[in-house]
Amino acid sequence: GAVVSQHPSRVICKSGTSVKIECRSLDFQATTMFWYRQFPKQSLMLMATSNEGSKATYEQGVEKDKFLINHASLTLSTLTVTSAHPEDSSFYICSAATGEDEKLFFGSGTQLSVL
């Protein structure tokens, strides 16, 4: 199936710093990508929808100034966690749909730990 690449797989940062997570569609173009967040033993929660060339759409309760999303090309979306705090520690996962059959594929996830 289609491949969605996500980097880094794990990141540890100090409180107050910013962290950027990249999501790439390797063998297809994705006009829309989705960012999810997952806490231990819980299901995935949609954070935002990333649209190429336009502003992201955030779910209710997700701070757009804290979780900056940039979708500069048809194969790359980035999520930047700004001024990270320990409560932002979580597993972040991106996803994208292929053009032809519109199946949704997911990246391998990024484990963020804020000290």
Partner 1 sequence: LAKTTQPISMDSYEGQEVNITCSHNNIATNDYITWYQQFPSQGPRFIIQGYKTKVTNEVASLFIPADRKSSTLSLPRVSLSDTAVYYCLVGDTGRRALTFGSGTRLQVQP
Binding site for partner 1 (CB under 8 A): 1, 4, 6, 32, 34, 36, 43-46, 49, 91, 93, 95, 97-99, 102-109, 111
Q: Which two tokens stand for residue 102?
A: 């519109």
CB of 103 to partner 1, least distance (A): 6
CB of 52 to partner 1, least distance (A): 14
- Tell which residue, 93, 88, 63, 95, has the closest CA to residue 12: 88
CB of 76 to partner 1, least distance (A): 17
- Tell which residue, 44, 67, 40, 46, has the closest CA to residue 55: 67
